[in-house]
Each structure stands twice: as structure tokens, then as C-alpha cells.
Structure 1
Amino acid sequence: MADFYELKVSNLYKETKDTVVVEFDVPEQQHETFKFQQGQHLTLRKLINGEDIRRTYSLCTSPIENLWKVAIKQIPGGVFSTYANTELSIGDELDVMAPAGNFFVEVDPDAANNYIAFAAGSGITPMLSIIKTHLLSEPNCTFKLFYLNRTVKSIIFKEEIERLKNQFFERFQVFHFLTKEQRDIPFLNGRFDKEKLAVLTKTFIDIEDTAHCFLCGPQEMIFLIRDELEAAGLASDRIHYELFFSGENEASKLHIAEVLEHKVDGTDVTIIDAGKEFHFVM
């Protein structure tokens, strides 16, 4: 049985009106236990109204930073996410499991890899960890991020992404797509669809020169992008994605079965049934 460790909240701030970033103080003697790979997650536990609530959230920091932060987006009816956004304070303690997860590829400092990533909403959290790690550790790599949100104000980690663009301006490109606000460029309005992806794979993405692609967002978006990238010639073993479901009821279990049924050999799917609050309203 996995162990929980009591960690103190060392910092906490609102990233957007419905997303809070929580940083944990990991004592030096537990640094080895909490050593993590980019893209991994933490499982948090708290007794709320007499109920043992456990939720899993992706780390948004790079292992290089030696920081442990998660972003928690409040969802309607979400017990833990509501608690984190409305009650949790600096100095409070939460039970936390050691980092886990397989949503990453090994870093190769000598390689000149070109990476792409598609994220929607809070799907940016593991992406930020992955992007920072590769840019910092692979001096010859490039990264392109295609990021979907409702409005500019709803963009999680907008300022940090801009700082990364400035720091790695020759190696990191970001394309923001919005569904509830109009951009000056019509192509950047609305969700990803077959037509947009056809343009992206022909003009923005060099399929043959893409080392790996990371996807994190709603199931429909992930499967659409995966299928279109494969149709354009990207090998399935270069496409990595992560899906989270609670597994707490029959509908969720059927959803998991559907995901597994559509899984293509060679692609990564991580399903966490400890109850991750990972929700998108686009």
C-alpha cells in the first residue's frame, strides 16, 4: 500500500479566478522520496466533512527547479477542488503520496529533438513541467505548444509561458486558440478540428522531424488529434497522452473501457482511478 506523507503548504496563490496553485514544503530528508520526472503527478488526501477525499494533480514544475507545485482548477461539485480554492491556506498540511506517472520521455541532452504539445484548459499543468524540462536540459531541442482555452483570462500559466517564450525565443513557440473570444487571426478562433489540424500538419508541424508529441485535454480532442497526426504520418509510438477518470461509478468505468477500446498500440494512456479532478469546460 502506497504511503502518504504529511506536507505543509508553503505557498498558495490564484493563477486564474477558478485555479489555485499550491506549493509544498518538502523537507530535505524527503527529497529523495519526492524526486520526480517531468509530467508526473501527486495524489493528495484530506479529510473533508468527515470523508476521506483523495485527488491526483499533475506537477507543474520541472525536476530541475527542485519545487513541488500543483494547479487545482475548481470544478462545480468538486469536493477537493472547491476546498483547495476556497479554504486551503498557507501553513495548512495535506497528506501527499510520492510522485508517480509515466507521462514523459527520457531527456537526451545531446539530441536535437523537435517536440510538439497540444493542451486544453488545465491540461497545461503536466505540459509546463515537460516543456520546461526539455528546454532546460536539451539545448538543441525545440518545442511548439498549441494551447486551447475559453478566454485570455482563463489561460492558466499565461505569464509563465510568456516568460519561457522570452527565455527560449528561438526554440519555443506558442499558439493560443480561444473558443469564447475572437482573435485577430480567424484560424486561432475555436476548437481543434480536422480542418485546423490539416493546416497545422502542413504548415506548422514538420511531421517527419517531430520526435514526440504530448496531448492532454478532453478525450474527444485527444483522439481527434492523435488520429489526424497518425494520418499525416506521425508514428503512434511518438504520441503520448494522459486521461484521468474517477472510476467511482458505472458511467466512469464504462468511459474507461471506451478509452481502452480506442487505445492504439504504441501510444501511452494513463488512467488514474484514485479520483483526479481533471475537468474541461470549453
Structure 2
Amino acid sequence: MIKNIFYALVVKRIEKLTKDSINISFDVPENLREIFNFESGQHLTLKLDIKGKEYRRNYSLCTSPAENEWSIIIKKVDGGVFSHFAFNNLKVGDIVEVLPPMGKFCFIVDFKADETHKNIVLIAAGSGITPIMSMLKYGLHKYPDIHFTLIYQNRHYNTIILNNEIHKLKNKYVNNLSVHHILSKEKIEGNINSGRLDADKMALIFTKLIPLPMVSDVFICGPFEMIDSVKEYLTAHKMDPKNIHYELFTAKSALVNKEAIQEKSEITGNQSVISITIDGQTHEFTTTNLHNNILDEALEHSVGLPYACKGGVCCTCKAKLEEGKVEMLTNFGLEPDEIANNYVLTCQCLPLTEKVVLNFDA
């Protein structure tokens, strides 16, 4: 079976969580279980045909690998065609095209033998709770000697996604889990539980709730501004970057500076030959639209590539650059070692040489 193709999965269960969020569970048949195995924190890419147009979106799994369940949460987004269609139209028994689990925002920690009382902090905002919940369930099950602290921001109490499930975990792991809700639109006594997750809030959390020197790893998921604030605080207070793990749910759009790209370009004519290997097959096409990203050009030339967010976040379109040069407009997903090893996000790449060779199988 191939990881980069969609498989038809049946919707097994739909549960309404809040007024604008639902939990969808898929039935993964036995013959697909191996390829749909996942690490806590990974996501599924869904594909739907809506009014004759194809839409793809990533949704993190909120279940633990130990649960043998494949569940995601879809929250309605203002103007979101995909989320509104799924919320209003999907029903049990429907078939959805789904890519096998992907993503590298996973719960992987490196404890030394003598580290038996370390603390792990998980920070989420809104629907960013989904991969965090998967990690929390898995971590509590796998590491009974580790203490977990969940910091979860929402606007109002009645918008807290998976509130009941969080409460059940707290009761089950009463000695291993601390939960702190932060509400930005409700007045609550105390400075910690109201407001937003900014630098001032981080100072309170990592002094009053759990001193930063006691923290082993921090996992963060949510919008760009929140993650940026948390990362800035942690790095300013000397936390090792390798212990700061994050995934963006939204990102800033990249702007194309055509003049700057032109200065870097080594293309003497007006075209570039793009060679792409995926699932053991090599496809080649010529593009003359040098200011369009390679992913979109490949799709225009009927080369089927995996993608979802198209914002440089999810890394679904990651490939290795084996020949030539590209300009990557933005990157919110690749780690420094991946960039050093010539991995790129094809949704953000513009060709700079007359031939570019990319390998999705590397």
C-alpha cells in the first residue's frame, strides 16, 4: 500500500462537542490498519468534492495510538467552505477520501535513566487541543512517573473543546495531570486564568504554576501569534530549542517579491524543467510560470502530489531537493536539520535553475 494516495474511509461516528465543533470517527478496515498506524500528534488529510471543486484540509487525530480509534475534530471557521460543509452535511455512513497519517509534531521525548520526575507542559488554544489531547492520552499511559501540565486557552467556558474528556483524564490521573483553563473573554478571579497566552502570561505560568527549571519539554499548538509568544519567552529564558515542540494551526501568508526572486534566479530563458519522483515513479514537465510554486505547477501538469494547507505549515508536500536550486518563500514546518539536508516545501518553492529535481520518496 502507498502512503501518498487517498483511501476511502467510512464515517463511523459523529459527535457534537460545542455549537461549532464536531468529533468525527472513521472506520479503518483491518487491511488498512498498518498503513493508518500513527504517532500521537499526527494528522489526517481529508479530501471532499464540494459543488464540483476539490478541497483538502488537515485535521489532527485527537485519539491515542493505543485506543485503536481514528478521530478528528472539525471546528467551523468563518468563511471556511470545507469546515461548514463537513459540519452541516457529513453523516454516519458517508465515504471520505483520506490520506494515511502524516506529520512530525509527535510526542517523542528523550528521558535519561535518572529522570523519573520530570514535568511536561502542553499548551493549546482553541482547536489546537486536538494533537495535544492525543499526546496527553499517550503520555499519561506510557510514562506513569512523569507529571503533565495542560494549559488550554479558549474564549468562553462553553467553547472548550473536549472539556468532558479532559475532566475524565484529570480524574483518572489525579496525581499525574494538572489542568489550567485560560479564558480570554470571561472575567475570572486571578491573573493566570483570564486573558491571553502572551509573554506576561508565560511569566506567571512558569513561575507560579510550574517553575521552568522543572520542565523537561513543552508542546505547543495553536495560532501563529500565540506560539510566537510562547517560543520567545522560553528561548529568552534559556530553554533548549530541541525541547520546544510546536505546530501552527494558522500562519501568515507569504508575499512574493518578484524582483528579489529575479536577482537570485540562474534561469537565462523563461522556463524550468521540473522532475519529481513520488511512489517510485518519476514525472517531468516544463514550467514557464516561474513565479508560481512548484506544487501548483505540478498539479496544473496533472502530477498528483500530496498537499493540504498550502501555507508552509503542515509539511504534507515535503520533498528532497536533489538537483538545482529553489527559493522557499516561507517555512513554518521544516526543522533546521531538514533544511540542512535539502528538504523543501513544494507549496512554497519557486524554481531558480533551469532544472529542478525533487524526490518525495527520499
TM-score normalized with structure 1 length = 0.87
Deviation (angstroms), 1:232:
2.1
Give runs of aligned pairs for residues 1-282 of structure 1, distance below 5 A. Answer: 2-106=4-108, 112=116, 113-244=118-249, 250=255, 260=331
Find the residue that maps to 2:101 and give its secondary structure.
Answer: coil
Report the Cα distance in structure 2 between the residues aligned to 1:40 and 1:255, rounded to whole angstroms.
16
Which blocks of at least 5 consecutive residues in structure 2 are unaligned?
257-308, 314-327, 349-362
Larger Rg: 2
Q: CA deviation at 1:247?
A: 9.6
Q: CA RMSD in A?
A: 3.1
* Structure 1 residue aligned with 2:323: none
1-structure distance, mates of 2:162, 2:186? 18
Check whether the contact 2:312–2:332 (CA below 8 A) recurs between aligned residues. Answer: no
Q: Within 2, Cα distance between the matches of 1:64 and 1:32?
A: 14
Structure 1 unaligned residues grouped into runs of 5+: 275-282
Deviation by residue 1:4-37 (Cα, 9 ceiling, x = unmatched): 1000000001111000110000001111010000
Q: Larger strand proportion, structure 1 or 2?
A: 2
CA distance change for structure 1 residues 174 and 17 in 2, over 3 Å: closer, same or farther?
A: same
Check 1:128–1:266 CA distance in 2 against 1; reply closer, same or farther (3 A cut). Answer: farther
Q: Is the 8 A contact 1:20 1:84 kept in 2?
A: no
Offset of 1:227 from its aligned partner?
Answer: 1.1
Does the 8 A contact of 1:118 with 1:145 survive in 2? yes
Offset of residue 258 of structure 1: 8.2
- SS in structure 2 of the partner of residue 226 of structure 1: helix
Instruction: Spell out, residue by residue over 1:121-146, the C-alpha distance to the aligned partner (whole angstroms, 9 max, x if none).
Output: 00000000001100001111111011
In 2 relative to 1, CA 120–167 (structure 1 residues): closer, same or farther, beyond 3 Å?
same
Q: How many angstroms apart in 2 are the aligned matches of 1:91 and 1:249?
A: 39
Q: Give the CA deviation at 1:212.
A: 1.1
SS in 2 for 1:115: strand
Q: Which structure has the highest helix share of the two?
A: 1
Compare 206-215 and 144-153 and name the one that shifted more: 206-215
- Classify 1:48/1:272 alpha carbon distance in 2 versus 1 (closer, same or farther; 3 Å): farther
Residue type of the alignment partner of 2:228: F
Pairwise CA distance, 1:261: 8.6
SS in structure 1 of the partner of residue 161 of structure 2: coil
* Gap change, CA 1:233 and 1:264, over 3 Å in 2: farther
In the alignment, the residues of structure 2 paired with residue 91 and residue 54 of structure 1 have an alpha-carbon distance, to the nearest angstrom, of: 20
SS at 1:211's partner residue?
strand
Could you tell me how far 1:194 is from its partner in structure 2?
A: 2.3
Per the TM alignment, residue 163 of structure 1 is displaced from its structure 2 partner at its CA by: 0.3
SS state of the match for residue 188, structure 1? coil
What is the number of equivalent residue pairs in this alignment?
273
Q: Is the 8 A contact 1:247 1:253 kept in 2?
A: no
> 2:30 is aligned with what amino acid?
E
Alignment deviations for residues 205-231 of structure 1 (CA, whole Å, 9 cap, x no partner): 232232210111111110111111122
Q: After superposition, what is the alpha-carbon deviation per residue over 1:168-213, rounded to whole angstroms, capped at 9, x for unaligned?
A: 0111011101011112334311102222211222222232232210
Judge conservation of contact 2:122–2:149 (CA < 8 Å) in 1: yes
The 1:153–1:273 alpha-carbon spacing in structure 2 relative to 1, beyond 3 Å, is: farther
CA contact (8 A) 2:9 2:95 kept: yes
How far the C-alpha of 1:2 sits from its partner, in A, is: 1.2
Q: Which residue of 1 aligns with 2:266?
A: none
Higher relative CO (CA 8 A, sep ≥ 6), structure 1 or 2?
1
